[in-house]
């Protein structure tokens, strides 16, 4: 079963929060991106099969820490599977598939000040990343030839990013040592978005 609208996504998260409370699990906070975040924040509406988790959020005395290196707890995953059975979803409808993005590229500057926090009961908190940060991650995802079509479709047909948003995303990707091939892939996607002037600013 797929999620067709924001209410279904939030309903699943609410049910998850309720079952976590019933099972007396530890509290957990998650950073959520992808199609589910696009829907919940009304950035774009499309069907999605999963809730993509970028990282677990650890609350410390010095502030929030993103733990993309930490797997979802086993007892939490068990409750996720029970909710899947309740709602006829895929067993791993909530998963950390995109976690390596933060490990490799880090978070876009200011991401934690832009996200939207929502609570689904006392034990489950979700931080949905902003439109600008979605552009960052979608631009990166669209560079993968195997997954380019759906991510580019999100950008072109749904998010429709501004020049400023695309330039910010490109600068984030280029803020490290990169190969000519990597820069060529950035140009390919930025060009497909219609921003040739940004392409011209990307070093050969």
pLDDT for 141 equals 95
pLDDT for 56 equals 97
pLDDT for 99 equals 85
3-state secondary structure of 188: helix
Q: Domain residues of the chain, as ranges?
A: 6-129, 132-201
CA nearest to 97, candidates 67, 66, 136, 68: 68
pLDDT for 176 equals 92
Whole-model pTM above 0.75? Answer: yes
pLDDT for 148 equals 82
For the beta carbon of residue 10, count every other beta carbon within 10 angstroms: 17
Q: What is the H or E stretch that residue 28 is in?
A: strand 28-33
- If phi > 0 it is left, if psi is from -120 to 50 it is alpha, else beta; for residue 101 that is alpha
pLDDT for 132 equals 98
Q: Identify whether the C-beta of residue 80 lies closer than 8 Å to the C-beta of residue 73.
A: no
Across the 204 residues of the chain, what is the mean pLDDT of every consecutive 10-residue run?
94 98 96 96 94 95 91 97 96 93 94 97 98 97 89 95 98 95 96 96 93
Q: How far is it between the farthest Cα atoms of the chain?
A: 56
């Amino acid at each position: 079963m797929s999620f067709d609208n924001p209410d279904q996504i939030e309903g699943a998260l609410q049910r998850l929060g309720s079952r976590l409370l019933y099972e007396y699990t530890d509290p957990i906070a998650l950073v959520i991106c992808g199609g589910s975040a696009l829907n919940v924040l009304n950035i774009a509406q499309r069907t999605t099969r999963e809730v993509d988790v970028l990282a677990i959020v650890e609350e410390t005395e010095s502030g929030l820490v993103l733990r993309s290196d930490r797997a979802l707890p086993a007892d939490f995953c068990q409750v996720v599977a029970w909710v899947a059975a309740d709602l006829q979803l895929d067993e791993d409808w909530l998963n950390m598939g995109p976690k390596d993005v933060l490990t490799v590229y880090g978070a876009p500057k200011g991401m934690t000040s832009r996200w939207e926090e929502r609570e689904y009961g006392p034990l489950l908190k979700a931080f949905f990343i902003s439109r600008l940060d979605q552009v960052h991650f979608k631009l990166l995802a669209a560079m993968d030839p195997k997954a380019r079509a759906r991510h580019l479709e999100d950008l072109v047909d749904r998010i429709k990013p501004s020049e400023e948003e695309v330039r910010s995303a490109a600068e984030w990707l280029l803020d490290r040592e990169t190969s000519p091939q990597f820069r060529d892939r950035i140009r390919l996607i930025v060009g497909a978005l219609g921003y040739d002037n940004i392409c011209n600013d990307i070093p050969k």
